[in-house]
Amino acid sequence: MCGIFAYLNYNVARERRYIMEVLFNGLRRLEYRGYDSSGIAIDNDLSSAAGEGERPYASALPLVFRQEGKIESLVRSVYSEVDAMGLDLEKSFMVHAGIAHTRWATHGVPSPRNSHPQSSGSWDEFLVVHNGIITNYEVLKETLIRHGFTFESDTDTEVIPKLAKFVFDQARGGDQSVTFSQVVIEVIRQLEGAYALIFKSSHYPNELIACRRGSTLILGVKGLTDEKSYAASFGDVKTLTADGQPKELFFSSDLCAIVEHTKNYLAIEDNEVVHLKDGSVSVLKFDYSKEKPASVQRALSVLEMEVEQIKKGNYDHFMQKEIHEQPHSLTTTMRGRLRDKSVVLGGLKDHLKTIRHSRRIIFVGCGTSYNAALAARPFLEELSGIPVTMELASDLLDRKGPIYREDTAVFVSQSGETADTLLALEYALSNGALCVGITNTVGSTLARKTHCGVHINAGCEIGVASTKAYTSQIVVITIMALAIGADSISTQSRRESIINSLSDLPDKVREVLRLDNEMKDLAESLMQMQSLLVFGRGYNYATALEGALKVKEVALTHSEGMLAGEMKHGPLALVDETLPIIVIATRDACFSQQQSVIQQLHARKGRLIVMCSSGDAASVCSGGSCRLIEVPLVADCLQPVINIIPLQLLAYHLTVLRGYDVDQPRNLAKSVTTQ
Ligand code: UD1
Ligand code: M6R
């Protein structure tokens, strides 16, 4: 989905080439979110600006570059345009404000004119990059057209810079001096919908304004004298005044684009307007009911993320890296949360009593996050004794399914920004349920809007196909079940044995990752398949859904995960000698039912691939020929963590062999921030 990046250097000399590279690199870090076009705006030189005589103001004209397709095509076109213009790339700026954007088309096809920055018109007096959707853009557009504006794009965004120019001209017409933040606040008063916005204007050179409602936006602050002492002395944004100290300031919709520059950040809140001017940062809180915004004091946070997380290292693809990283990501997920015979979830401890008294626990999520909750559901039901229901966020919204004050609604989302999940959260909040978040993204909308929750701490996940977040989500929900059930004596030994298994889990994951070459072999044998079925049940029904989803989304092959118990109620008709079928038959309470499924598939000469526990090969495949995937045995409720890994590897190798884009599959985005 769309991504925002902006860079302002203050009192430190930066060459134009350097500034452009910082912006391009910011865009590269946002690439994983999915996009179809991109753009940047930087400053021209006052002396070399064309048509200077006619300009309505004295400062340098901005230069806007927009391109459809990959970021590298934007980079190439910018350098060739800059070259053609004879622009000096070595020119140094003591202060400069640049903005950049990756667009994922919603209103209007991917094209340069629909890309951002969007402009107020000739002279590009106001430029805006935008994430989100302005729902009342049509009425604003009509009004602006009546006032003589002409529109060049099909986007909803274009009304924003034009409205800024309208507000600015009105104030100027009345001979009033108007500050940049006054213009922006007047603009956002008129906007409905969701947005994260950055404004740049030639009327306010070297200033930037950022604001948000319902869409993530982060400010990164880098002091250049001594980063550490800077962080200590400027822990508070209110002290980021115009001290003349050299600094670099960044805005981004994603922490991943900021981490390589600084770890000092501020997650901007809804209705805050952040103004960068003369090396100072001011934060204003905007309120519709009040004429004047209030100045607010916010503290900077320190990011717990390492730069290595956003780099591929020795791997060919992020998906591959993230699959192999799971022993480590699971370790960080569990760090500090397992005791000898108990568990601790700092984010939930004050709410456990309320959860234990709920009438129902409802899991809400989309895609892989939904599957993770489904995998952990049986154990939560077992330990809590509370009915646990599952909701796909979009379906809950379509049905307006009943949610009550006595319910606990648990929202699971890797990104914490999925539109359907967030809308379902609004709905549950308005119905009075206790809302719990489970997310990988500190500072995300989900983390901020839920009453409480748990960060899964899996580290930045860049591949669009979710892998390590899935296994960490299962583990966190399992720990949550242990915490909820901690007051029951009858389940104590069961709980202790699961806590022991959790401690061993990273080693077992290391063991199952050794199947990598075997999965590559299997992928080679399945290269030509048109379709794949995956049968699971019990704890591993979710594994079947998730394994099939992985193959579908990256290898672009039709595949269906099915409940094995439903086989005879329809899917059996598909079975023949050619259709590959994976049956998950690791040891648990459903083992004998799965053995019977295998026998029935053998009887119909099905092309079987059976996933079984180490040592079970002979017993699971006695009635016919089949290919085996032998995995280590762990506690039943943790087996989905192990079983999904060979299927992740299979999906990965199939994709590479077929020559498809692993990390950014066709038509998909990492964070689905629109409905
Ligand atoms: C927290 C700190 C962690 C520190 C640990 C030490 C953060 C983000 N985490 O971890 O750095 O090492 O204490 O004790 O600072 N929350 C929600 N909704 C969500 C997710 C989380 O409201 O979707 C809330 C939680 O209720 C909690 C806070 O965010 O109040 C932090 O959650 P989490 O990181 O899971 O807490 P700890 O594991 O205690
Ligand atoms: O960020 P979220 O976990 O809320 O995302 C939900 C789904 O969009 C996501 O899991 C999607 O299914 C993945 N591409 C799966 O790999």
Residue 420 Cα to ligand 2 middle (Å): 11
466 lines ligand 1 (CB under 6 A): no
Mutate to test the pocket of ligand 1, among 454, 457, 476, 477 (most ligand atoms within 8 A of CB): 454
664 lines ligand 2 (CB under 6 A): no
What is the structure's pLDDT at 175?
A: 65
Decide if 474 contacts 642 (C-beta within 8 A). Answer: no
Which listed ligand is nearest to 333 at the C-alpha? 1
Residue 12 Cα to ligand 1 middle (Å): 36
Q: Above 70 in pLDDT, residue 263? A: yes
What is the structure's pLDDT at 52?
A: 44
The whole-angstrom separation of Cα 268 and Cα 217 is 6
Domain boundaries, the chain: 3-309, 318-658
Amino acid identity of residue 671, one-letter, is S
What is the signed CA dihedral for 371, 376, 381, 386, rounded to 10 degrees?
-70
Which listed ligand is nearest to 338 at the C-alpha? 1
Q: What is the mean pLDDT of residues 319-328?
A: 97
253 lines ligand 2 (CB under 6 A): no
The whole-angstrom separation of Cα 404 and Cα 516 is 46
Contacts 24+ apart (CB under 8 A), 306-310: 306/259, 307/259, 307/260, 309/256, 309/259, 309/459, 309/460, 310/29, 310/256, 310/259, 310/260, 310/460, 310/462
The band of 312, judged by pLDDT with boundaries at 50, 70 and 90, is confident
Residue 529 Cα to ligand 1 middle (Å): 45
Decide if 447 contacts 267 (C-beta within 8 A). Answer: no
Among protein residues, the one whose CA lies closest to atom 16 of ligand 2 = 465
The 10s digit of each residue's pLDDT in 230-239 is 554 455 565 5
Decide if 246 contacts 253 (C-beta within 8 A). Answer: no
Closest atom of ligand 2 relative to the 368 alpha carbon: 10
Mean pLDDT of the chain, nearest integer: 91
Q: What is the mean pLDDT of residues 529-542?
A: 97
Percent of the chain predicted with pLDDT > 70: 95
What is the structure's pLDDT at 151?
A: 96
Residue 366 Cα to ligand 2 middle (Å): 6
Closest atom of ligand 2 relative to the 670 alpha carbon: 14
What is the structure's pLDDT at 47?
A: 45
369 lines ligand 2 (CB under 6 A): yes
- Cβ neighbours of residue 318 closer than 8 Å, sequence gap 6 or more: 32, 312, 462, 463, 662, 663
Our measurement of the distance from residue 308's CA atom to the centroid of its chain's CA atoms, rounded to an integer in Å, reads 18
Residue 524 has a CB neighbour count (10 Å cut-off) of 12
What is the structure's pLDDT at 592?
A: 93
Closest atom of ligand 1 relative to the 451 alpha carbon: 22
Q: Which fold would CATH assign to domain 318-658?
A: Rossmann fold (3.40.50)
Which listed ligand is nearest to 336 at the C-alpha? 1
Percent of the chain predicted with pLDDT > 90: 77
373 lines ligand 2 (CB under 6 A): no
Closest atom of ligand 1 relative to the 304 alpha carbon: 11
Decide if 274 contacts 211 (C-beta within 8 A). Answer: yes
273 lines ligand 1 (CB under 6 A): no
Residue 2 annotated among the catalytic residues of the structure = yes
Residue 236 Cα to ligand 2 middle (Å): 34
- Which superfamily does 3-309 belong to? Aminohydrolase, N-terminal nucleophile (Ntn) domain (3.60.20.10)
- Cβ neighbours of residue 621 closer than 8 Å, sequence gap 6 or more: 598, 608, 610, 612, 628
Our measurement of the distance from residue 421's CA atom to the centroid of its chain's CA atoms, rounded to an integer in Å, reads 12
Residue 368 Cα to ligand 2 middle (Å): 5
The continuous run of DSSP H or E covering 137 comes out as: helix 137-146
The whole-angstrom separation of Cα 449 and Cα 455 is 14
425 lines ligand 1 (CB under 6 A): no
Q: What is the mean pLDDT of residues 445-462?
A: 93
Q: Above 90 in pLDDT, residue 445? A: no
Q: Above 60 in pLDDT, residue 285? A: yes
Which listed ligand is nearest to 549 at the C-alpha? 2
What is the structure's pLDDT at 305?
A: 74
Which listed ligand is nearest to 444 at the C-alpha? 1
144 lines ligand 1 (CB under 6 A): no
Q: Above 80 in pLDDT, residue 186? A: yes
Q: Above 70 in pLDDT, residue 46? A: no
Q: What is the mean pLDDT of residues 615-623?
A: 85
450 lines ligand 1 (CB under 6 A): yes
446 lines ligand 1 (CB under 6 A): yes
75 lines ligand 1 (CB under 6 A): no
Residue 124 Cα to ligand 2 middle (Å): 37
Q: What is the mean pLDDT of residues 71-78?
A: 96
Tokens of 296: 């607010």
Mutate to test the pocket of ligand 2, among 216, 256, 418, 674 (most ligand atoms within 8 A of CB): 418
The whole-angstrom separation of Cα 161 and Cα 125 is 8
What is the structure's pLDDT at 48?
A: 45
Decide if 592 contacts 569 (C-beta within 8 A). Answer: no
Q: Above 80 in pLDDT, residue 349? A: yes
Q: What is the mean pLDDT of residues 272-289?
A: 90
442 lines ligand 1 (CB under 6 A): yes
Among protein residues, the one whose CA lies closest to atom 16 of ligand 1 = 453
Among protein residues, the one whose CA lies closest to atom 9 of ligand 1 = 455
662 lines ligand 2 (CB under 6 A): no
Decide if 486 contacts 469 (C-beta within 8 A). Answer: no
Closest listed residue to residue 379, CA positions, set 478, 288, 281, 305:
478
Closest listed residue to residue 412, CA positions, set 542, 509, 323:
542
Strands 208-213 and 247-252: unpaired
Closest atom of ligand 2 relative to the 446 alpha carbon: 4
Q: Between 46 and 176, whose confidence is greater?
A: 176
Among protein residues, the one whose CA lies closest to atom 11 of ligand 1 = 304
The band of 290, judged by pLDDT with boundaries at 50, 70 and 90, is confident
Q: Above 80 in pLDDT, residue 632? A: yes
Most confident of 57-61, 134-138, 465-469, 574-578: 465-469
- Cβ neighbours of residue 284 closer than 8 Å, sequence gap 6 or more: 181, 185, 272, 273, 274, 275, 293, 294, 295, 296
Three-state DSSP state, 193? strand
The band of 51, judged by pLDDT with boundaries at 50, 70 and 90, is very low
Among protein residues, the one whose CA lies closest to atom 9 of ligand 2 = 367
Q: Above 60 in pLDDT, residue 482? A: yes
346 lines ligand 1 (CB under 6 A): yes
Q: What is the mean pLDDT of residues 191-203?
A: 94
Question: ω before 117 within 30° of 0 (cis)?
Answer: yes
Residue 353 Cα to ligand 1 middle (Å): 18
Q: At what angle do helices 639-658 and 541-555 cross, to 10 degrees?
A: 20
The 10s digit of each residue's pLDDT in 397-428 is 999 999 999 999 999 999 999 999 999 999 99
Say which of 2, 211, 366, 452 is annotated catalytic: 2
Q: What is the mean pLDDT of residues 293-307?
A: 82
pTM, to two decimals: 0.81
252 lines ligand 2 (CB under 6 A): no
Q: What is the mean pLDDT of residues 595-602?
A: 94
